[in-house]
Structure 1
């Protein structure tokens, strides 16, 4: 459909006569009416627009057409007797694609309309194709995210069936880690690392921190009393076993899977301590990956406030006394200070996902 906009009835009749054998034609004698037609459905495929009109000239009509998403894609050809360079430049500046000089030449009008419609069809095709591709990319991205979630859920569920901790422990530690990471994100030192995407990975990876416990014998894992030194050495291997399990899963895919990197760090290093007295490698300070330093606080807090076969549950206040003693020895002092700012949030998470013992 071609929309012709001109305030002179004779010009509208002439343009209609030139175009009607080739296209469906609509006419408008005022700029406001032209905008109404262009922004309705179905929209015109092309607009032939007079420049010199009362109330609203062609330049202003074109400017408004281009500002509205419903009409921005419609090519505008100016019809005018003003063919000086300044006038043409003004038309192109507001979004026009061509000029047709008055008095018109019918063959020139038809040729230029046809050329612009061909260009529009190509642009529409590319826009539709890009939209389809964007939709496909979004679909594949959602599928990939779902595969990641299923992979992590399957692995963490396997650990949960062997451990004496509850599924709520996994849910709580996920939320603790995310809460702490989001607070740290506000600090310039951590902002480049703790992006929203990375925090989401940490949230998804947190359930795998104890995946290695699937390799610990029941007599140790489920022992109600204190472990002997020999048993504790075996228990400590759960960090390495967890890392190796994730590493093997990754290698079985014959590719590097970046989304598993935080999971491997958390599984291997969440028992490391700031002063180097942790395991399995005795890392010191910032040599411990940030993901593991976050997990260390989340895991210890939840362990203290939860009932286990070998201990009762502590109150939040009792747990905080013990945690504060670990600042600078067990825990990264800078991260721990941020934890103190969100301890009330940790408590709310614990209550909302309570096992009934805190």
Structure 2
């Protein structure tokens, strides 16, 4: 027995008619082939159709006291839980207009009394077979949609894990950073959400671009992987030559991400934004930043937001060679950079959100054990050669 035959053998047919003789006749005709349920009025028919074990097909009389068959069919087709149950009208109403109305309400067939038993059986079987095929396709589509959602989640998770792994790799080389990645992610997201209604940013900030910004932000310092330890881990001020090498982390970061894109063989939207952030987050609004000395709106918007997040976090964060600056003092320094270091409108957004920034910093604060580990790492990596 094939799958379709098995489905048909298990099918349930609901017969709806107010006349006991008609219910008995149809039950006797169908019972050797299907499970049969009966209802002698429209209200009972709807209760059975909406139960935990609904019928696979309904044979429905039209002329019944109270709720007629037309109304029963209309309610069945309006309800998402019952609209896919095929309805065959089985009625003494034989006018063309009656049949038209029944089919327009969503019935799949229209049979007039007195019925021909062989014709009833063939019509019932055909419509049950069609329903079985439709249910199979619907289940397959639901399965495929679920698989697409599942695979999309997996791809997104792989992307996120890869980004965080790459960013964490950079941070293992920089003893200063701790939870810097997480904090800056939420800082830039807060800025972007605040600015999405601003005239200068409304055309570029939307749900998708903010999502990409949040996903890309952790790669802003990926280029630090390429900076020598003697410079990256130096606790004091850089010499001019050392600073030039340190500045190259922006170009190294962009090139690393670009190389990853080339290996993929295609452009990836969030990696394109990550390149902008890595390459441009040290630019300054007045053109005095690096690596290209861009000014104003020539600096990508994503890099401008990251500049605010990066500088604020550097000011308030503890380092192995300094204590974190109080929030109020950090805000004062940020204000001094409005229109010189920072995009003025973006800095105004920061000022409006400063309590949210403070809350983010507290939520993802570096622990004492983190700092002790960082100090030990710095001591080990900067110890004189041959030290025990």
TM-score, scaled relative to structure 2: 0.86
**C-alpha offsets along residues 307-357 of structure 1, whole Å, 9 cap, x if unaligned?**
235544211111111111222222222222222221110011112222369
| 2:379 counterpart residue number | none
| 1:254 counterpart residue number | 265
| 2:114 alignment partner, SS class | coil
Contact 1:273 1:331 in 2 (8 A): yes
1:95 equivalent to 2:106? Answer: yes
| 1:128 counterpart residue number | 139
**CA distance in structure 1 between the partners assigned to 2:85 and 2:157 by the alignment:** 40
Name the stretch that deviates more: 233-242 or 109-118: 109-118
Which structure 2 residue ranges, 5 or more long, are not aligned?
A: 1-11, 369-388
**CA distance in structure 2 between the partners assigned to 1:282 and 1:87 by the alignment:** 80
- 1:227 CA displacement: 1.6
**CA distance in structure 2 between the partners assigned to 1:223 and 1:98 by the alignment:** 84
The aligned length equals 357
| 2:285 counterpart residue number | 274
- 1:229 CA displacement: 2.1
Equivalent of residue 80 in structure 2, options 69, 85, 92: 69
**C-alpha offsets along residues 246-291 of structure 1, whole Å, 9 cap, x if unaligned?**
1222222333333322211111111112222221122222222221
| 1:229 counterpart residue number | 240
**C-alpha offsets along residues 135-173 of structure 1, whole Å, 9 cap, x if unaligned?**
211121121012102211221111111112233111111
**CA distance in structure 2 between the partners assigned to 1:79 and 1:341 by the alignment:** 70
Contact 1:297 1:336 in 2 (8 A): yes
Equivalent of residue 347 in structure 2, options 336, 349, 355: 336
| 2:71 counterpart residue number | 60
Equivalent of residue 21 in structure 2, options 10, 32, 50: 10
Name the stretch that deviates more: 223-232 or 184-193: 184-193
- 1:189 CA displacement: 5.6
Contact 2:213 2:270 in 1 (8 A): no
1:215 equivalent to 2:226? Answer: yes
Contact 1:6 1:12 in 2 (8 A): yes
Equivalent of residue 49 in structure 2, options 18, 25, 38: 38
Equivalent of residue 356 in structure 2, options 345, 355, 358: 345
TM-score, scaled relative to structure 1: 0.93
RMSD: 2.0
Contact 1:226 1:310 in 2 (8 A): no
- 1:194 CA displacement: 3.0
Equivalent of residue 92 in structure 2, options 61, 81, 88: 81
Matches within 5 A, 1:143-158: 143-158=154-169
**CA distance in structure 1 between the partners assigned to 2:248 and 2:358 by the alignment:** 30
Equivalent of residue 176 in structure 1, options 180, 187, 195: 187
1:199 equivalent to 2:210? Answer: yes
**CA distance in structure 2 between the partners assigned to 1:31 and 1:249 by the alignment:** 65
Matches within 5 A, 1:107-126: 107-126=118-137
Name the stretch that deviates more: 285-294 or 240-249: 285-294
Distance 1:256 1:5, change over 3 A: same
Contact 1:301 1:323 in 2 (8 A): yes
**CA distance in structure 2 between the partners assigned to 1:268 and 1:143 by the alignment:** 29
**C-alpha offsets along residues 17-72 of structure 1, whole Å, 9 cap, x if unaligned?**
33233322211101121122112233211001111212211122222222333322
Which structure 1 residue ranges, 5 or more long, are not aligned?
A: none
Name the stretch that deviates more: 334-343 or 313-322: 334-343
Name the stretch that deviates more: 34-43 or 260-269: 34-43
Distance 1:109 1:349, change over 3 A: same
**C-alpha offsets along residues 163-199 of structure 1, whole Å, 9 cap, x if unaligned?**
1223311111111112112222344664553333432
1:141 equivalent to 2:148? Answer: no
**CA distance in structure 1 between the partners assigned to 2:94 and 2:304 by the alignment:** 71
